[in-house]
Chain A
Amino acid sequence: MKTIEDEDTMPPLVAVPLPPENLPVAKSHDFPSSENWPLVSLVTVLVLLSLWWLATNRGWLPPLWLPSPEAVGKAYLASFRGELQGGRTLFDHFLWSFGRVVIAFLLASATAIPIGLLMGVSRLARSVFDPIIEFYRPLPPLAYLPLIVIWFGIDETAKILLIYLACFAPLAVSARAGVRSASLEQIHAAQSLGASRYQVLFHVILPAALPEILTGMRIAVGFGWTTLVAAELVAATVGLGQLVMNASNFLRTDIVLMGILVIGVVAWIFDLGMRCIEQHFVPWKGRA
């Protein structure tokens, strides 16, 4: 039997496992649960798919209005093999869209995060950039798309710029807000340990801002995919957004639906990736 005094300098970190007893796990009433039941989510998806299948196969809805799952599957295979519209494969479309989103996102990260951080620490930077960002941030990208086309033409520059602008605002805003994440105690502690102004900035304020910056990046990637279709409206010949827009001109709703599903799945995988990055870099998020 250990006494409390023995543990005086060394409290155990891990509880000692007890022999199992056939008791139910105690229930606690705390936060409304933030987890979901994967099984229920799966059932939801299956029910929706069955309804879709029933509605199309029983003829409840005309095929133009809602193409059948089989038609969408066929469109997918045809597109995958490059048998549709100009012979581009689905992977080709994906690669171009992926490239545009990634390039725009990386450019936005490289510029918006430093500017946001600067806005967080400098009154001058805040005064300069605040009116610009706050003005354009709520504008729908489609509204200023014509201007961008007139200024930058119809090639890749215009498309990437549009996605870039969509990513820029959430990145800058989150980086700016992140600067406030370091506690006064953390800053004072660093100063009392001999850290200079710049060391406080780089070794305390910057790492403390990382969770907010990563949240901003996650939102920005989502915005990037959302803006993609708008960007590819502009005389694109290849890309997932262009695939959908082009198919809609020919009333090929099977291809439209297939394209939407592909964009959705790709964006979802991106989000999962961002969450993994968050878990890896800031496992301490919300636990400081």
Chain B
Amino acid sequence: MSVALKRMDKRDVSESDSARARSRQSLSIRNLSVRFGGSGQNVLALSRLNLEIAAGDFVVALGASGCGKTTLLSCIAGFIEPSAGEILLGGQPVKGPSAERGVVFQKHALMPWLDVLGNVEFGLRMRGIAKAERQGIALDKIHAVGLEKFARHPVYKLSGGMQQRVGIARSLASNPDILLLDEPLGALDALTREQMQELILKLWHAEEKMVFFITHSVEEALFLATDLLVMTPSPGRILHRFKLPFSRRYVESGDARKVKSDPEFIRKREEILSLIQNGHH
């Protein structure tokens, strides 16, 4: 572990310097409601939801299927226009998808006709940034996710975990204010999943971005979140918001096993599991 972490840390220092130069943003969600209708269905996916995300927050939404967490992410990303309420990013109302809100999907979101570099520089190319500059930025992000040896590899030949690294690098390349991750590790095996959790925390620490992360896994949520939202369905709403210390502990110590085997971590896990079960019935 120590070898890999030291390698990351060196990069973290230089990258966080440039990250600090950027203005800090915040995201506010006020009275957000989403109703899905048409063809016989009438579902209140989200009801009068309020949420504040401040600079540097790692917000994780946890809940069973149908609790509205993906709907919430889609609203922030701009894929869904809410029925009521508003979302403000840095004071400006959110309207439609935009590069200031980067999204990482569970799968099927890379462009297989482009190689790793082509995927990562995609957003910069769409915005007309000159080739030399955008490839410099893209290679930097490819390096940050540990894929520097694979910049010219076709993405369809990479493993699931490596493909998710490409997806993360691609979002980071556009330098978004907030990173939205929709169950990005859901399709990975347990071992890769833990490696990716650590990578995501390192990147979050280096880039100092707001993160909104969706997961089914209680342990993953506990490990990653500075702010954990437990959501319940019908109608989708936030049941409880926890402040958690574990992600910062990991960033400081670099020892994931120690953080996850801490009695406090385990106690919190049981507390949240019982909250979900009682809140759900």
Contact = CB atoms under 8 A, between A and B. Distances in A.
A284 B154 contact: yes
Interface string A173-211: 000000000010110111111111001000110011010
A212 to B, nearest CB: 13
Nearest to A189: B109
Given A5-B4, A9-B8, A193 B156 contact: no
A287 B163 CA distance: 13
Contacts of B3: 5-6
B159 interface: yes
A26 interface: no
A32 interface: no
B4 A189 contact: no
Interface string B1-18: 101100110000000000
Contact of B126 (A11, A203, A287): A203
Given A5-B1, A13-B153, A193-B170, A186 B109 contact: yes
B251 interface: no
Contact of A194 (B112, B150, B158, B174): B174
Contact of A188 (B79, B110, B199): B79
B198 interface: yes
Nearest to A207: B113
B99 interface: yes
Interface stretch (B42-50, B100-108, B233-241): B100-108
Contacts, number: 108
A204 to B, nearest CB: 7
Given A11-B159, A183-B109, A284-B112, A188 B97 contact: yes
Given A11-B161, A186-B111, A210-B113, A193 B154 contact: no
A19 interface: no
Interface string A248-288: 00000000000000000000000000000000001110011
B206 to A, nearest CB: 13
A8 B198 contact: yes
Contact of B7 (A9, A183, A195, A207): A9
Which bracket fits the contact residues of A?
Answer: 20 to 34
A186 B154 contact: no
Interface string B114-127: 00000000110011
A91 B205 CA distance: 71
Contacts of A190: 122, 126
Contact of B4 (A9, A204, A207, A283): A9
Contacts of A208: 111, 113
Interface in A3-19: 4-6, 8-11, 13
B77 A192 contact: yes
B185 to A, nearest CB: 15
Contacts of A193: 99, 102, 122-123, 126, 170-171, 174
Contacts of B109: 183, 185-186, 188-189
Contact of B195 (A8, A191, A195, A207): A8
Contact of A4 (B7, B8, B191): B191
A283 B155 CA distance: 11
Contacts of B107: 185
A200 B179 CA distance: 21
Nearest to A3: B1
B162 interface: yes
B66 interface: no
A192 B101 contact: yes
B281 interface: no
Contacts of A183: 108-109
B98 interface: yes
A138 to B, nearest CB: 32
A237 to B, nearest CB: 46
Contacts of B56: none
Interface in B152-191: 153-154, 156-159, 161-162, 167, 170-171, 174, 191
Contact of B102 (A4, A186, A192): A192
B245 interface: no
Contacts of A186: 108-111
Given A13-B162, A185-B105, 13 more contacts: A8-B198, A9-B8, A11-B161, A11-B162, A186-B111, A188-B97, A189-B170, A190-B126, A192-B101, A194-B127, A203-B122, A204-B111, A208-B113
Closest CB pairs A-B (n = 3): A193-B123, A9-B146, A194-B99
Interface of B: 1, 3-4, 7-8, 77-79, 96-99, 101-103, 105-113, 122-123, 126-127, 145-146, 149-150, 153-154, 156-159, 161-162, 167, 170-171, 174, 191-192, 195, 198-199
28 contacts: A5-B3, A5-B4, A8-B1, A9-B195, A185-B105, A185-B106, A186-B108, A186-B110, A186-B111, A188-B77, A188-B79, A188-B97, A189-B103, A189-B105, A189-B110, A189-B170, A190-B126, A191-B97, A192-B97, A192-B99, A192-B171, A193-B122, A193-B126, A193-B171, A194-B126, A203-B126, A282-B113, A288-B108
